[in-house]
Amino acid sequence: MFFILAWFTMKFVWPPIVKALDERANKIADGLAAADKAKADLALAEKKVVEELRKARESAGDVRTSAEKQASQLIDEARAEASRIIAAAREAAEHEAGAATQRAKEALRDQVAHLAVAGAEKILRREIDAKVHAKLLANLKQELQ
């Protein structure tokens, strides 16, 4: 009976159990291989992330440096433009002041000439007398001041 039971178990029961155990072992081996592959992929992905972060930092540094240079250039251009405008304004003011001075001198000359002619006219209308001439010149002198 024992041998029949052993033979029956070996013939009909044992092969499905062995087959199930082999399939289970294959699934476990496949799972372990997939886990190892996933670990390798994760390590590769981490390396890529580190590299991309490094590149991004370098790029950000380059952008920052470029922006600083551009800002500095704009500031320098603005200062140069302001200096040019100030110089032009000073030149215009000096020119205007010179022109105003010139006009004032011309007006003063005209007034002096007019007064001289008026004084000479007064002198010629009166009789020739040294005291009267001196008095008229004194008056003319006061008018000029």
DSSP 29-60: HHHHHHHHHHHHHHHHHHHHHHHHHHHHHHHH
Highest mean pLDDT among 34-48, 66-80, 95-109, 121-135: 34-48
Longest dimension (CA), the chain: 183
Q: H or E stretch including 3?
A: helix 2-8
Q: Is the pLDDT of residue 53 over 80?
A: yes
Measured CA to CA in angstroms, residue 129 lies from 60, 64, 116, 133, 139 at distances of 99, 93, 18, 6, 15
What per-residue confidence (pLDDT) applies to 145? 62
Out of 9-23, 41-55, 62-76, 111-125, which region has the weakest mean confidence (pLDDT)? 111-125
* 28 class by beta-carbon count within 10 Å (0-12 exposed, 13-18 middle, 19+ buried): exposed
| Position 122 confidence tier, pLDDT thresholds 50, 70, 90 | confident
CA angle 127-129-135, nearest 5°?
105
Which are the contacts of 122, defined by CB distance < 8 A and separation ≥ 6? 136
Separation of alpha carbons 19 and 101, rounded Å:
120
Domain ranges of the chain: 1-108
Specify the amino acid at residue 37.
Answer: K
> Using an 8 Å Cβ cutoff, are 134 and 140 in contact?
no
